[in-house]
Chain A
Amino acid sequence: MLRATLKSLLARKLRLTLSTLAVVLSVMFVSGSLVLTDTLGRTFDNLFANIYTYTDVQVSAKSAVQEGGNNDTSTPFPASTVDRVAKLDGVAKATGQVFLNGAMPIGHNNKVVVNQTGQQFGGNWAGEDDLVKLAEGRGPQTDNEIVVNKGLAEAASVKVGDSMDVITRDHERAAYKIVGLMQYTGGRNSMAGESTVFFTTAKAQTAMLGAKGAFNVIEVKAASGVSNEKLRDTVKAELGDGFVVQTGKELSEENSKAIKNILKYFNYVLLGFGAVALLVGVFLILNTFSIIVAQRTQELALLRAMGAARGQVLRSVLLEALIIGFVGSVFGFLVGLGLGALGAYAFVGLADGAQVAGLGFPISAIIASFVIGIGVTTVAALMPAVKASRVAPIAAMRESAAPDRPLTKLTVSGAIVTALSAGALAWGLAGAGGGTLALVFGGVLGLLIGVALLTPVISKPLVAALGAALSWSVPGKLGRRNSSRNPRRTAITAGAVMIGIAIVTAISTIFTSLSTALGDTVAKDLQADVVVLGQQTNEVPPVVTLPELAKIEALPEAKTVAAITVDVVKINGEQAYVLSYLDPAAGAATLKATASQGRIDKLDTGEFIVDKKTAENRKLKLGDTIQVTFSKGQQKTLKLTGITNDSAIANGIVLSYADAKEGFAFADPWQVFLSLKDGSSPEQAKAAVNDILKDNPQVQAYTKDEYVKTNQQGFNVALVIVQVLLLIALAISVLGVINTLLLSVIERTRELGMLRAVGLRRGQTWLMVTTESIVITVFGTLLGLVVGVGLGAAIVTALKDVLGFGAVTLPWGLMVLYFVASVFVGGVAGLIPSVRAVRLNVLGAIAYE
């Protein structure tokens, strides 16, 4: 029996290749994403290990607001702290340093020199040490001299002796003379592509920390014989709770962990792709094995007639699945390994300077590959295997396979699964307690499977209608008839197409609805004609300076000018975003906010306003107070003095500018909304504002239309990513279509021979097979579009309260695109089977001996 299985497996190479390919594709994504994350993770481990090689112990002050923010080194402390550490036992040397994010170098084009890391460091020059080396020139001696890292010099094409503008953390722009270029030990131009500007210590203290004589980091060197851990404990005991004291090893691990956390989300996206690939792959594998069993009916029946037990037949098919699963997993894992490593190189290539860690074989990827590959294949083959074991020995004598069984059982189970899943989805979306997300996902998954089960029934009328459109030629008509010959097979093939398209359409519907809603609300509610904002290139936000704001307010066409600043604070111990308008009345007018209770056009220190919904959520009423801890460390009790009506764009907690100025990390306006007097041209006003901002390379003015589009850009990027998902799903379902059609061509060899004998041309044969392919693909696509739009619309409607809007916008353009793509894909999928049909030897096909 084993021999028979293996021989039959090897005898059908094409079948083997196609079904293995399905497993390979599914496994590839899973292993690829795991390998990518693993490689990147180790790359960053190495990177930080390098950075902190020479650090024994480092001290920084704890932030008042950021949680777990040991990474936040922006809280300054006086030089006396350094002295306290230096005097401790076991300390060889304690050096106060200024080193933090937020020094924006300006290039020749008057734009900020951006890098991919989001890190633009500014620090004090403390001379060369183990890590920092001068490559050229000397250190800064006066406040207008700087040293920059060689990577930045190359990116901005500047050299020693050149002048360069830098915007420091205090948002002051000034010109500096480059007197030296630095490298890290080992000749590295940067650690990972970041930029660093070194000032004199005094300049760094005022420009980066805003405090004379202050530092934000202490580098502590251990005296000989003192371990880093012991040193850490000594320093900790001296400085107390307000400081974070870590060894180099701890810092390296922590920084690496932070990046790995970001990578984790990246990994989720990739694994999501893998999951979709897997889902479609399951259909493909299921289909392949149904086909294999159908093809082998006579062979299996013969084995049964010669005395093979049911169990033996069952095991024979399962063994075949096991082999295909194993081979597919091996290849899938290897291809994934290659792709993951390639991805890591591409990713790290963005940040020059970092070195990719060597190729690794993460255990998780190996286990996942084999469990998924073999497991999914075996489970998918189980149903066909059971069917195979039921093949009656008499089938060996029959001319062809028995006609399709009735679809009743399938339809009933499909209807039940669909109804249950729809119920679960509805319940989940209505927000039923804790398991909501699980309910929604389970519902979506179940719904897809339910619809797939119903596909054979739906396929009859729909395929007939579809085919009618293609029946203008005899081959087209024949192809259409062929596609409705075996509803099960057509349906399961179309089902694979359906799932991919449905998922993509659902996501596209949600994003398009979001994007449109956002655009609509902004267009409707925002009373501004010109908006000023910038792109954030590091943790320091781009801002409009107060003098610039004054000039904008002084423009003759300006009616109202609303300037907004944002920060994170702790409210009653919990982190929250808060806003502040420089002029609350202008803010309310621009955002079309109206008072529900109290007054909203004026805010004094110690007061705040909220929108109605936030007030309800936080159970606040007029006169209530909250405890706020600001970034800069102050604590204040604020009183609620006004509640606004619900508005789509104005919500959250709004503080007085007096409090913001004192407590916010960056109190200058992040965004400015300018509304114009009647009859003024937004384009002209925009030009005038940009003229005012010509020395501010961080921000730019946009007209309202441009602003709306910018806001929607994020969704457009997301939509593009979704299309990649579509490509993956389609690629796998194409294999299914090819598989099905190849089988059909093989099964109908005699018919094809007859048709050719009575005068069907090669071109017509191709047309016939291609029509069938297109009908199946288009059928799956239409079904997917309907299911996808339904799902998307259901989710948007159900999440109305969460998202703040409930209008569904259908992605018509994309849907048409999917449809056209499916016709094309159907045509491509029909190619291989067509070639096989066209090349058919007429004589061989009709010979009966």
Chain B
Amino acid sequence: MTTTVTTGGVAARTVDVWKVYGSGEAQVIALHGVSVELERGHFTAIMGPSGSGKSTLMHTLAGLDSVNRGEIFIGDTRLTGMSDGELTNLRRTKVGFIFQQFNLLPTLTAEENILLPLSIAGRKADPAWYDTVIKTVGLADRLGHRPSQLSGGQQQRVACARALVSRPEVIFADEPTGNLDSRSGAEVLSFLRNSVREYGQTIVMVTHDPNAASYADRVIFLADGQIVDELREPTAEAVLDKLKGLDSDSLRSGFAGASAPGKAGEVA
């Protein structure tokens, strides 16, 4: 299914993307002809049961993983077929990342971690924007600290600031609250939503937590490598309902897959 373009244009899109792992009996089709458009200035959540291909979709969108067929665009730039050097350049300028494990460098201070992508690329931060980011994440008094001296929530806020500071076209967040308690998680999510509302940042988040998904403007549901549904202005309850339906579908298809090996993913 194809999503309609809304105001603000498209920040990233995929066109009939296929991703297959392995071959023969062990073959797994992770993405099954996925076409999706992610609107600029929106907070989009990608959900789905384990093995639905949601992480693969995000990785291919971010240029971290290659695809077997189809095309991927960030803005107007076509990712498919790019060399490692070109992809690195793209990641420097157009993409930001937030990981579940925070992935901060233990040898650097919070401030150095935030500025790391810019310094790697040899660029300077826009001072006004930098101040705004620091203020928004509320880390002004923690900048000189090392990651080991920060709480999990604080570390993830550093990671968010790191993704925001270079003003990328899209920020990809992979289970950003997966390692946080609910309060810290809520802080980070509000912060992400605010950066979309106030500064027009585009964020794509993979999560399996309906609560986290309820912070997004739009939720896309994946099952067996295909987009099966979507919700706009979701609530946690609505997301949960959709997921329940998917889970039972997925269970059925799981059994089908088990009875007919090699065809897993083709059901739905």
Q: How far is the CA of A264 from the CA of B89 in the complex (A)?
A: 64
* Chain B stretch 52-69: residues in CB contact (< 8 A) with chain A: 55, 59, 62, 64-65
Q: Does B116 contact A (CB under 8 A)?
A: yes
B85 touches A761 (CB 8 A): yes
Given the known interface contacts A478-B105, A843-B59, A843-B64, the answer about A754 and B120 at a Cβ–Cβ threshold of 8 Å is no
B107 touches A758 (CB 8 A): no
Q: How far is the CA of A757 from the CA of B105 in the complex (A)?
A: 13
Q: How far is the CB of A124 from chain B (nearest CB, A)?
A: 84
Q: Does A602 contact B (CB under 8 A)?
A: no
Given the known interface contacts A485-B107, A761-B85, the answer about A755 and B120 at a Cβ–Cβ threshold of 8 Å is yes
Q: Does A842 contact B (CB under 8 A)?
A: yes
Which interface class (under 10, 10 to 19, 20 to 34, 35 or more) fits A?
A: 20 to 34
Q: Does B43 contact A (CB under 8 A)?
A: no
Residues of chain A with a CB closer than 8 A to B88's CB: 756, 759-762
Q: How far is the CA of A754 from the CA of B95 in the complex (A)?
A: 13
Q: Does A481 contact B (CB under 8 A)?
A: yes
Q: How far is the CB of A775 from chain B (nearest CB, A)?
A: 13
B84 touches A762 (CB 8 A): yes
Q: How far is the CA of A757 from the CA of B59 in the complex (A)?
A: 11
* Chain B stretch 89-114: residues in CB contact (< 8 A) with chain A: 89, 91-92, 96-97, 99-101, 103, 105-108
Which interface class (under 10, 10 to 19, 20 to 34, 35 or more) fits B?
A: 20 to 34
Q: Quick one: closest A residue to B163, CB to CB?
A: A758
Q: Which of B84, B105, B122, B174 contacts A751 (CB 8 A)?
A: B105
Q: Which of B85, B101, B120, B148 contacts A750 (CB 8 A)?
A: B101
Q: How far is the CA of A750 from the CA of B100 in the complex (A)?
A: 12
A759 touches B121 (CB 8 A): yes
Q: How far is the CB of A285 from chain B (nearest CB, A)?
A: 28
Q: How far is the CB of A483 from chain B (nearest CB, A)?
A: 10
Q: Which of B89, B97, B119 contacts A757 (CB 8 A)?
A: B97
Q: How far is the CA of A403 from the CA of B162 in the complex (A)?
A: 25
Q: Does B117 contact A (CB under 8 A)?
A: yes
Given the known interface contacts A757-B64, A759-B88, A842-B64, the answer about A481 and B108 at a Cβ–Cβ threshold of 8 Å is yes
Q: How far is the CB of A741 from chain B (nearest CB, A)?
A: 16
Q: How far is the CA of A764 from the CA of B96 in the complex (A)?
A: 19
* Chain A stretch 456-477: residues in CB contact (< 8 A) with chain B: 474-475
Q: Does A265 contact B (CB under 8 A)?
A: no
Q: Quick one: closest A residue to B89, CB to CB?
A: A759
B101 touches A764 (CB 8 A): no
Binary per-residue interface labels of chain A (744-769) against chain B in the complex, 1 for a CB within 8 Å, 0 otherwise: 00000011011111111110100000
Binary per-residue interface labels of chain B (100-144) against chain A in the complex, 1 for a CB within 8 Å, 0 otherwise: 110101111000000011011110000000000000000000000
Q: How far is the CB of B17 from chain A (nearest CB, A)?
A: 16
Residues of chain B with a CB closer than 8 A to A755's CB: 105, 116, 120
Q: How far is the CB of A764 from chain B (nearest CB, A)?
A: 7
Residues of chain A with a CB closer than 8 A to B122's CB: 474
Given the known interface contacts A474-B120, A759-B92, A760-B88, the answer about A843 and B65 at a Cβ–Cβ threshold of 8 Å is yes
Once A and B bind, how many residue pairs between them come within 8 Å at the CB atom? 68
B65 touches A758 (CB 8 A): no
Residues of chain A with a CB closer than 8 A to B65's CB: 843
Given the known interface contacts A760-B88, A761-B85, A843-B65, the answer about A485 and B106 at a Cβ–Cβ threshold of 8 Å is yes
Q: Does A298 contact B (CB under 8 A)?
A: no
B91 touches A754 (CB 8 A): no
Q: How far is the CA of A759 from the CA of B96 in the complex (A)?
A: 10
A848 touches B116 (CB 8 A): no
Residues of chain B with a CB closer than 8 A to A762's CB: 84-85, 88
Residues of chain B with a CB closer than 8 A to A753's CB: 103
Q: Quick one: closest B residue to A403, CB to CB?
A: B148
Q: Which of A481, A758, A848 contacts B162 (CB 8 A)?
A: A758
Q: How far is the CB of A306 from chain B (nearest CB, A)?
A: 26
B99 touches A754 (CB 8 A): yes
Q: How far is the CA of A723 from the CA of B174 in the complex (A)?
A: 55
Residues of chain B with a CB closer than 8 A to A847's CB: 55
Residues of chain A with a CB closer than 8 A to B174's CB: 846
Q: Does A482 contact B (CB under 8 A)?
A: yes
Q: How far is the CA of A475 from the CA of B117 in the complex (A)?
A: 11
B107 touches A481 (CB 8 A): yes
Q: How far is the CA of A847 from the CA of B56 in the complex (A)?
A: 11
Given the known interface contacts A759-B88, A848-B100, the answer about A764 and B120 at a Cβ–Cβ threshold of 8 Å is yes
Residues of chain B with a CB closer than 8 A to A482's CB: 107
* Chain A stretch 634-662: residues in CB contact (< 8 A) with chain B: none
Q: How far is the CA of A753 from the CA of B104 in the complex (A)?
A: 11
Q: How far is the CA of A470 from the CA of B204 in the complex (A)?
A: 38
* Chain A stretch 270-303: residues in CB contact (< 8 A) with chain B: none
Q: How far is the CB of B224 from chain A (nearest CB, A)?
A: 18
Given the known interface contacts A481-B108, A762-B84, the answer about A754 and B92 at a Cβ–Cβ threshold of 8 Å is no
Residues of chain A with a CB closer than 8 A to B103's CB: 750-751, 753-754, 846
Q: Which of A403, A759, A848 contacts B120 (CB 8 A)?
A: A759
Residues of chain A with a CB closer than 8 A to B121's CB: 759
Residues of chain B with a CB closer than 8 A to A485's CB: 106-107
Q: How far is the CB of B156 from chain A (nearest CB, A)?
A: 13
Residues of chain A with a CB closer than 8 A to B59's CB: 843
Q: How far is the CA of A475 from the CA of B55 in the complex (A)?
A: 29
Which residue, of A482, A760, A762, A764, has the highest number of chain B Cβ atoms within 10 A? A760
Q: Quick one: closest B residue to A473, CB to CB?
A: B122
Q: How far is the CB of A469 from chain B (nearest CB, A)?
A: 18
Binary per-residue interface labels of chain A (125-151) against chain B in the complex, 1 for a CB within 8 Å, 0 otherwise: 000000000000000000000000000
Given the known interface contacts A478-B107, A481-B108, the answer about A758 and B120 at a Cβ–Cβ threshold of 8 Å is yes
Q: Quick one: closest B residue to A757, CB to CB?
A: B97
* Chain A stretch 800-849: residues in CB contact (< 8 A) with chain B: 842-843, 846-848
Q: Quick one: closest B residue to A763, CB to CB?
A: B85
Q: How far is the CA of A474 from the CA of B148 in the complex (A)?
A: 21
Q: How far is the CB of A839 from chain B (nearest CB, A)?
A: 11
Q: Quick one: closest A residue to B159, CB to CB?
A: A754
Q: How far is the CB of B164 from chain A (nearest CB, A)?
A: 12
Q: How far is the CA of A478 from the CA of B117 in the complex (A)?
A: 12
Q: Which of B100, B108, B117 contacts A759 (CB 8 A)?
A: B117
Q: Quick one: closest B residue to A842, CB to CB?
A: B64
Binary per-residue interface labels of chain A (480-518) against chain B in the complex, 1 for a CB within 8 Å, 0 otherwise: 011011000000000000000000000000000000000
Residues of chain A with a CB closer than 8 A to B89's CB: 759
Q: How far is the CA of A484 from the CA of B106 in the complex (A)?
A: 12
Q: How far is the CB of A482 from chain B (nearest CB, A)?
A: 6
Q: Quick one: closest B residue to A754, CB to CB?
A: B103
Q: Quick one: closest A residue to B84, CB to CB?
A: A762
Q: How far is the CA of A827 from the CA of B110 in the complex (A)?
A: 30
Q: Quick one: closest B residue to A768, CB to CB?
A: B120
B107 touches A846 (CB 8 A): no
Residues of chain A with a CB closer than 8 A to B97's CB: 754, 757-758
Binary per-residue interface labels of chain B (196-234) against chain A in the complex, 1 for a CB within 8 Å, 0 otherwise: 000000000000000000000000000000000000000
Q: How far is the CB of B19 from chain A (nearest CB, A)?
A: 12
Q: How far is the CA of A482 from the CA of B106 in the complex (A)?
A: 9
Which residue, of A478, A484, A757, has the highest number of chain B Cβ atoms within 10 A? A757
Q: Which of B99, B119, B162 contacts A474 (CB 8 A)?
A: B119
Q: How far is the CB of B117 from chain A (nearest CB, A)?
A: 4
Residues of chain A with a CB closer than 8 A to B92's CB: 758-759
Q: Quick one: closest A residue to B91, CB to CB?
A: A759
Q: Quick one: closest A residue to B93, CB to CB?
A: A759
- Seed contacts A758-B92, A764-B120; 17 additional CB < 8 Å A-B pairs: A474-B119, A475-B120, A478-B105, A481-B107, A751-B105, A754-B97, A757-B64, A758-B117, A759-B91, A759-B120, A759-B121, A762-B84, A762-B88, A842-B64, A843-B59, A847-B55, A848-B101
A-B CB proximity, top 8 nearest: A759-B92, A481-B107, A754-B103, A758-B117, A474-B119, A759-B91, A843-B64, A761-B88
For this complex, 29 residue pairs linking A to B, each with C-beta atoms less than 8 Å apart, are A403-B148, A474-B119, A474-B122, A475-B120, A478-B105, A484-B107, A485-B106, A485-B107, A751-B105, A753-B103, A755-B105, A756-B88, A757-B62, A757-B97, A758-B92, A758-B120, A758-B162, A759-B91, A759-B92, A759-B120, A759-B121, A760-B120, A761-B88, A762-B84, A762-B85, A762-B88, A764-B120, A843-B59, A848-B101
